[in-house]
Chains A and B, each alone.
Chain A
Amino acid sequence: MQWAIVLLLAIVAPLLPGWTVFLLSVALAKALVVLGIGLLMRGGLVSFGHGMYYAAGAYGVAFAMKLMGIREALVLAVLGLVAGGLLASVLGMLLARYRGLFFAMLNLALSMMVYGALLKFYWVTGGTDGMAVRQATFGGFVPPAGLLRVAYFYLSLGVVAIVVSMAHRLVRSPMGYLLRALRDNEVRVNYMGGWVEQTIYRVYVLSGGLAGLGGSLVVLNVGHAVPDFAYWSQSGEFVFVALFGGYGHVLGPLSGSILFEFVRSYAYKVSPYTWQLLLGAMLALVILFLPEGLWSLVERRMARRDRWGWSWRPSS
């Protein structure tokens, strides 16, 4: 299923208008963050602070370019993953003990401190003015201007395809089920001898890494990193998109992210003065009438097809 979508995107992309390709690249990159947050949400944990890992990835790229002169796109993307993962592996040691709103709020507090730090150390980070990120190279080549966006798009798409298929495996693996299990009943996981903290810690680090990866890809596309990446409203947006798309299936965050970016851009376009109203109304409708996210519509549809006996879905 996911491969069909990836293939479709890959074929269609170069035919789309230029700004759409860019929008898709950014949406795909952000989908990685959302996917990470979605994994945590499967475990019943909602982070209102993943903006800090997103920022870690973005600033990681900016610093790697500025201080070390690294310009290779794939290397930078991996660096973003590492930056997010590293920060998460430190903070995760504190956070893995917390649940529910405490987990959410503590993440928020920490991310606001990261935001404050990015702002405070302005002589290093440029403060709110942010840091510029130059064009990356692909295998040593700088793509010609006309192909640059498409190159970035394929980079994002490739990374997303790999991550999504890995995530798809993960959610069906013992660890993936343990995550759902501990969301349902942590006490029972303990009484089976399962290590709740360790599982949460691992998934947390993974989600931090994914957020960093997303941040690095976004900043490569956008070309500028600002402290707002770590601001709570950015984190809130990721959680929103995870719910919007639905985190029950790995394709939920992906489709949610793409749709969200398009809807937002559309809202900006048709009502530059009241786009928040449009966005808010849409969010409210989804929460009230589709609490499992948009992807649940697709799943329901597919379930109906299954019943009629002409399923095209691989057995799962």
Chain B
Amino acid sequence: MTQLALIAVGGLFSASWLFLVSLGLTLIYGVLRVLNVAHGSLYALGAYLGSSMVLVALEKGHGVPVSYLILLGAALLVGLSVGPFLERVFLRRIYQKEEVLVLLLTFAIFLMLEDVMKLVWGVQPYVVNAPYVALGVVKVGGVRQPAYPFLLTGIAVTMGGLVWAGMARTRFGKLVTSVIEDREISAALGVNVPRIFTGAFTVGAVLAALGGAFTAPMISVVPGVAVEVIVLGFAVVAIGGLGSIEGAALGSLLVGFLRSASVHLFPELDLVAIYLVMALVLLFRPQGLFGRAEMRRV
């Protein structure tokens, strides 16, 4: 019983994190058809800026509660500045090119940002876990569990909900949906597609930075944190269906629970679990769980 409860809670934590990491990725793909490798860099930027800002605030004597707002602020700062910058300066130039070329461009951006972060923050590790510790622990099945990951779950659900509602309810969201449905027709109908692109990329960047900023209190932020995120995010998005928000949610849950179960039941599988799911899903449903199979009109 205890084990089941632990698997469930661990799965939920893992899934929340994966969803936070993959939501922006799938959104950007859905709108821009760009598989953004630099997503990992935005995540790392969020983590670095978040932890260093919290650090300064704590040193100045601000209480821990403020730090959550600071993390949010850091994510917004990164997303709203770096996001549009990358989109306008780099991506905009080559949208009409093949997807792979764009993907490699984001890979180039990723490489550059790796060293830029090193130049800005140095190679010293950042461990700023006050926000993590402050939330205390809860008991699950008689076993102490940190409460912070529940905050992550909350943020993941909120963000998922906001993005979903934003797409369904707001004018911008409807424009985005129309661009997703058919770029050419939307453009012909007077939708400002480039603006939609910048907007969607920025939202995706904010989400990536948010994932990084709120993961930072749990981990030691060191060079290279970006790399792991990319592959995990890609895997989740591929499982769920490229461009699908529901898919990212389901993919996260699937991978999260499998990882958690593997830790408790077959620890040897931990490393390959996610790729196993990915390969199986893609073999039987290549478009992903929620992806749409597109048929070409002739």
Contact = CB atoms under 8 A, between A and B. Distances in A.
The answer to whether A and B touch in the complex, with CB atoms under 8 Å apart, is yes
Interface of A: 41, 46, 94, 97-98, 100-102, 104-106, 108-110, 112-113, 116-117, 119-120, 187, 232-233, 236, 239-240, 243, 273-277, 279-281, 283-284, 287-288, 291
A106 B291 CA distance: 15
Interface string B87-103: 00010011001011100
Contacts, number: 109
Contacts of B296: 187
A106 B286 contact: yes
A284 B272 contact: no
B115 interface: yes
B105 A287 contact: yes
Given A276-B114, A277-B112, A116 B272 contact: yes
Contacts of A275: 115
Taking chain B's interface residues, is the majority helix, strand, or loop, or is none over half, making it mixed?
Answer: helix
B35 interface: yes
Contacts of B93: 288
Contacts of A281: 108, 112
A102 B112 contact: no
Contacts of B272: 112-113, 116-117, 120
B238 interface: yes
B282 A101 contact: no
B187 interface: no
Nearest to B282: A106
Interface string B123-139: 00000000000000000
A94 B283 contact: yes
Nearest to A283: B108
Contact of B105 (A41, A104, A232, A288): A288
25 contacts: A46-B100, A98-B286, A101-B242, A102-B282, A109-B278, A109-B279, A112-B231, A113-B276, A120-B268, A187-B296, A233-B227, A236-B107, A239-B100, A243-B101, A243-B104, A275-B115, A276-B114, A277-B112, A280-B109, A281-B108, A281-B112, A284-B109, A284-B112, A287-B105, A287-B108
Given A113-B275, A284-B105, A104 B94 contact: no
